[in-house]
Chain A
């Protein structure tokens, strides 16, 4: 197992190199980072432009340029952003922290309620509860986040204020303007609506995963064997049913978490929530090459990492899977 993990980690290095090279190519060809620099700094001297090209590895030769960028990236000499000449790492770190906070909250809430709903639906397939949960899940999946987000903003902020004089939840940011320091309650209040929007999607999807996975398991012969032992129905359901039904769900969840790190682009945009999604939209809109490349590296690394987690958890939960 350890050997397998080490080998997978070792393999992720060439994968990262290849993917970042492709991303580098795409950004070079698709966005022309030198032109964006000149657009933002119209009076930059020839020397300034040359320095920008040098630190970002934007040489005319793509391969040479990529390795120059790579060397600077690895040694930690990250060029500053085009706009505002800000340091990239603090901005990226904050965006990551914000997205992880939102992503974790939404995933925990979403998967928890999704699994409960799925189990409840599967226990009496075709019953009233099942039909209700299935229909709700269908609605939850069908309503896109930009609709639900705006509806929640209208309901909990705009109309709430009209009816009760004060809005229930704020609609943008992580803290009110000008706030400094850490305030858990305030933060949760700001996170409530974006979390709700994302969690609804997750609840809807996972209730369906869980329902179909558990239904499969409930119909299997080993459930009958378990019942024939005379153990309690609860134990049959948890130890034999859930234990098997969760295997595929956990695997999918690990993969999904990997992609959440890339940011919840639509939700973050609507709530002006400064996470990875908003970071990407802004820096891509401005063609800010120094901001974009590290973002790409983080995304690729997190997808690779959570793929590994998915494989490990699969092998850990299912003894039939051997990691070789």
Chain B
């Protein structure tokens, strides 16, 4: 197994809200190995973005973060702002959901990339500029030297997302976090952006964490998948095992709700995600789970090896075998 570059252990994130503390992330354990593409799936509010914003140290000050995040041997939780700044953009960088608003409208594209380069490398202005143009070329922007002098509003959404990727990979980070990078884009452009991310990953050996709610995207590009629900991991494993024989009822539900050729009706998961101000006791999914039993309301289940998957379901062994979605 490849070396682990990012190790998240027992991560908790709590926001103080007017209606009381809201625990958005409730003990997440997660590993990212160098060079792999890990998909993180979950519906809105499952804590997937918050987990990685906490990793980046980009949450607002009112968020309370506890646990451990070790990136290339360095503990990030509780690190000084200066230490975090030195990691951000150098070892760890992030692509955001909405490329239309992620770039500063008043600075030239080339300058926005150069800023990233020069904040971590000792480069002259002209060298940074040259490197910025190379990066634009790498992410597939035609006429990069002309485009570098333009402003974000002169780029289409897909092109802007390529620029955001160019910024993120400028310092050849160990881990690239892509937070729903294709959600705001057209389907055809989505495919192009995924290709860019894959190309970058292959070329530089960057580990990529792809956060999405789209299992179709995961199926196309990920090596491993981590499924999140209500601020917890509920299942993880390789893409093949997970799609072939999902064991957690939530994963089964997600896969069963996907449209597939020859399938007449989609089978949605009934009910709604829990209110995180007052989450259900025990397994948070028991309120919507077709296999729920009394035991599910008791203890908060943790990930346990189950075949070639790790599953956080106390009844995993008792459940009927799932159909394959591979």
Answer yes or no: do A and B interact.
Answer: yes
Interface residues of A (CB under 8 A from B): 220-222, 224-233, 239-240, 243-244, 247, 317-320
Contact in complex: B106, A221 (CB < 8 Å): no
* B167 CB contacts on chain A under 8 angstroms: 225, 229
What interface size band does chain B fall in? 20 to 34
Q: List 26 A-B contacts (CB under 8 A).
A: A221-B101, A221-B102, A222-B103, A222-B105, A224-B102, A226-B104, A227-B58, A227-B88, A228-B58, A229-B89, A229-B93, A229-B116, A229-B119, A230-B86, A231-B85, A231-B115, A233-B81, A239-B107, A243-B106, A243-B107, A244-B105, A319-B106, A319-B151, A319-B153, A320-B151, A320-B153
Given A228-B93, A229-B119, do A317 and B106 touch, yes or no (CB 8 Å)? yes
Name the residue on B nearest A318 (C-beta).
B106
| Smallest CB separation, A178 vs chain B (Å) | 54
* A232 CB contacts on chain B under 8 angstroms: 85
Tell me whether chain A's interface is mostly helix, strand or loop, or mixed: helix
Residues 72 to 125 of chain B near chain A (Cβ within 8 Å) = 81, 84-90, 93-94, 96, 98, 101-107, 115-116, 119-120
- Kindly state the separation between the CA atoms of A222 and B101 in the bound complex, as whole angstroms: 6
* B119 CB contacts on chain A under 8 angstroms: 229-231
- Kindly state the separation between the CA atoms of A228 and B56 in the bound complex, as whole angstroms: 7
* A240 CB contacts on chain B under 8 angstroms: 104, 107
Contact in complex: B101, A220 (CB < 8 Å): yes
* B89 CB contacts on chain A under 8 angstroms: 228-231
- Kindly state the separation between the CA atoms of A227 and B61 in the bound complex, as whole angstroms: 14
Contact in complex: B102, A225 (CB < 8 Å): yes
Interface centre among B81, B104, B120 (most CB of A within 10 A): B104
- Kindly state the separation between the CA atoms of A108 and B257 in the bound complex, as whole angstroms: 63
| Smallest CB separation, A100 vs chain B (Å) | 31
Contact in complex: A225, B105 (CB < 8 Å): no
Residues 194 to 247 of chain B near chain A (Cβ within 8 Å) = none
Contact in complex: A224, B96 (CB < 8 Å): yes
- Kindly state the separation between the CA atoms of A319 and B104 in the bound complex, as whole angstroms: 11
B96: contacting residue among A225, A239, A244, A318, CB under 8 A: A225
Name the residue on A nearest B168 (C-beta).
A228
* A317 CB contacts on chain B under 8 angstroms: 106
Name the residue on B nearest A231 (C-beta).
B119
Contact in complex: B85, A222 (CB < 8 Å): no
Contact in complex: B88, A222 (CB < 8 Å): no
| Smallest CB separation, B115 vs chain A (Å) | 6
- Kindly state the separation between the CA atoms of A182 and B85 in the bound complex, as whole angstroms: 55
- Kindly state the separation between the CA atoms of A320 and B85 in the bound complex, as whole angstroms: 31
Name the residue on A nearest B94 (C-beta).
A228
In the complex, B284 has a CB within 8 A of chain A: no
In the complex, B164 has a CB within 8 A of chain A: yes
Given A229-B88, A319-B153, do A244 and B106 touch, yes or no (CB 8 Å)? yes
Given A220-B101, A230-B89, A317-B106, do A225 and B153 touch, yes or no (CB 8 Å)? no
* A225 CB contacts on chain B under 8 angstroms: 96, 102-104, 164, 167
| Smallest CB separation, B103 vs chain A (Å) | 6
| Smallest CB separation, A159 vs chain B (Å) | 46
- Kindly state the separation between the CA atoms of A240 and B103 in the bound complex, as whole angstroms: 10
Contact in complex: B87, A221 (CB < 8 Å): no
Given A222-B101, A319-B106, A319-B153, do A230 and B88 touch, yes or no (CB 8 Å)? yes
- A225-B102, A225-B167, A229-B116 are known contacts; what are 19 more A-B pairs with Cβ within 8 Å? A220-B101, A221-B98, A222-B105, A225-B96, A226-B104, A227-B88, A229-B88, A229-B115, A229-B119, A230-B87, A230-B88, A230-B89, A231-B85, A231-B89, A231-B119, A243-B107, A244-B104, A317-B106, A320-B105
Name the residue on B nearest A246 (C-beta).
B106
Name the residue on B nearest A220 (C-beta).
B101
Contact in complex: A221, B96 (CB < 8 Å): yes
- Kindly state the separation between the CA atoms of A243 and B88 in the bound complex, as whole angstroms: 23
- Kindly state the separation between the CA atoms of A240 and B115 in the bound complex, as whole angstroms: 11
* B151 CB contacts on chain A under 8 angstroms: 319-320
* A244 CB contacts on chain B under 8 angstroms: 104-106
- Kindly state the separation between the CA atoms of A99 and B85 in the bound complex, as whole angstroms: 50
Name the residue on B nearest A241 (C-beta).
B104
| Smallest CB separation, A157 vs chain B (Å) | 47
* A243 CB contacts on chain B under 8 angstroms: 104, 106-107
* B115 CB contacts on chain A under 8 angstroms: 229, 231, 239
Interface centre among A222, A240, A243, A244 (most CB of B within 10 A): A222
- Kindly state the separation between the CA atoms of A224 and B167 in the bound complex, as whole angstroms: 13
| Smallest CB separation, A244 vs chain B (Å) | 6
- Kindly state the separation between the CA atoms of A228 and B98 in the bound complex, as whole angstroms: 15
| Smallest CB separation, B101 vs chain A (Å) | 4
Closest 7 CB pairs of A and B: A230-B89, A230-B88, A221-B101, A222-B104, A319-B151, A229-B89, A230-B85
Name the residue on B nearest A232 (C-beta).
B85
* A224 CB contacts on chain B under 8 angstroms: 58, 96, 102
- Kindly state the separation between the CA atoms of A319 and B86 in the bound complex, as whole angstroms: 31
- Kindly state the separation between the CA atoms of A224 and B85 in the bound complex, as whole angstroms: 13
Interface centre among A240, A317, A319 (most CB of B within 10 A): A319
| Smallest CB separation, B248 vs chain A (Å) | 32
* B153 CB contacts on chain A under 8 angstroms: 319-320
* A247 CB contacts on chain B under 8 angstroms: 106
- Kindly state the separation between the CA atoms of A229 and B170 in the bound complex, as whole angstroms: 10
Name the residue on A nearest B61 (C-beta).
A124
- Kindly state the separation between the CA atoms of A232 and B58 in the bound complex, as whole angstroms: 13
| Smallest CB separation, A317 vs chain B (Å) | 7
